């Protein structure tokens, strides 16, 4: 089986996070073209954030910490709908670019417990890969055994997906995390070339608050997930998806700068 690459398109990359429900359509179209070209030589699994779509709806309904009253139920539906609306834009752009995306909604295949993924039905993903399709996942509202519902970020999705893939004999070459910065910055604003678990506390002060509305943790969660993947033997690269051509080069394994997480 060919090696796989996990590719996350950050919500701050594909939407204007400070403006509710504002997609960056030109950026999405460009990234879709790069993904379509890269996927001809590299097996990819794509995930994307919810940006100013799902995060805003989740904050307004207060469901990030679970269900506390029946009054929040419409917020579950709205948050799920807004996340799916952005997802449709991404999938449609991939189709237009010539890729063969296969949409996988975490709400239909993943169960959480107290905010953490607890069970994942991997068969649709595995079969899509076997058939040569491009699986595309996203941050979503999922059923939660303890909280009623919870928000499952793309980071959390990728971690449980990686474990399932490894359990089924797949090899993951690395994870690419594309945002709108040149990786992770230090306190002086310089890009950290490498990060390990031992460096996290040193770098913690440089990880600022998420831009716009974010109910899942922003860069801090991304770094923690990258470190969790590193413990599974999967290295990561945090890089700037606003740079045209960077995605293609990174998917091919070329040097593009950014922060390596090992």
Q: What is the pLDDT of residues 186-230, one digit of tens each?
A: 888 889 999 887 666 555 555 554 454 445 556 788 899 999 999
Distances (CA, A) of 226 to 102, 129, 206: 24, 23, 17
Contacts of 223 (CB under 8 A, 6+ apart): 184, 195, 200, 203, 207, 238, 261
Is residue 162 a part of any domain in this protein? yes
Round to whole Å and give the CA distance between 200 and 187: 13
pTM to 2 decimals?
0.92
Is residue 80 a part of any domain in this protein? no
The predicted structure's pLDDT at residue 216: 52
The predicted structure's pLDDT at residue 59: 83
Is residue 67 a part of any domain in this protein? no
Is residue 232 a part of any domain in this protein? yes
pLDDT bracket for residue 18 (50, 70, 90): confident
Q: What is the CATH number of the domain that holds 185?
A: 3.40.1160.10
Q: What is the pLDDT of residues 94-123, one digit of tens each?
A: 999 999 999 999 999 999 999 999 999 999
Round to whole Å and give the CA distance between 142 and 199: 32
- Of residues 86 and 57, the one with the higher pLDDT is 86
Round to whole Å and give the CA distance between 64 and 149: 8
Is residue 75 a part of any domain in this protein? no
Structural domain containing residue 21: 4-52+96-104+121-139+155-261
Is residue 253 a part of any domain in this protein? yes
Query: How many distinct structural domains can be found in the chain?
Result: 1
Cβ atoms of 195 and 206 within 8 Å: the answer is no
């Amino acid at each position: 089986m060919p090696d796989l690459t996990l590719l996350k398109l950050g919500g701050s990359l594909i939407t204007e996070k400070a403006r509710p429900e504002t997609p960056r359509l030109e950026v999405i179209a460009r990234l879709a073209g790069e993904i379509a070209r890269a996927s001809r030589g590299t097996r990819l699994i794509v995930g994307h954030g919810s940006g100013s779509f799902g995060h805003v709806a989740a904050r307004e309904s207060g469901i990030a910490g679970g269900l506390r009253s029946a009054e929040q139920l419409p917020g579950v539906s709205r948050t799920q709908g807004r996340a799916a609306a952005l997802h449709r834009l991404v999938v449609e752009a991939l189709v237009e670019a010539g890729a063969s995306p296969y949409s996988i909604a975490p709400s239909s295949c993943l169960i959480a417990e107290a905010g953490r993924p607890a069970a994942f039905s991997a068969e649709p993903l595995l079969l899509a890969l076997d058939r040569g399709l491009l699986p595309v996942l996203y941050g979503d509202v999922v059923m939660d055994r303890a909280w009623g519902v919870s928000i499952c970020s793309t980071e959390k999705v990728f971690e449980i997906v990686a474990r399932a893939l490894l359990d089924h004999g797949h090899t993951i070459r690395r994870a690419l995390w594309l945002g709108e910065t040149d990786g992770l910055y230090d306190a002086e604003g310089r890009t950290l070339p490498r990060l390990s678990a031992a460096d996290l506390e040193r770098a913690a002060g440089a990880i600022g608050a998420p831009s716009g509305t974010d109910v899942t943790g922003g860069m801090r969660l991304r770094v923690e997930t990258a470190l969790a993947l590193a413990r599974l033997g999967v290295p990561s690269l945090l890089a700037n998806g606003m740079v045209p051509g960077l995605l293609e080069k990174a998917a091919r394994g070329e040097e593009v700068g950014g922060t390596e997480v090992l």
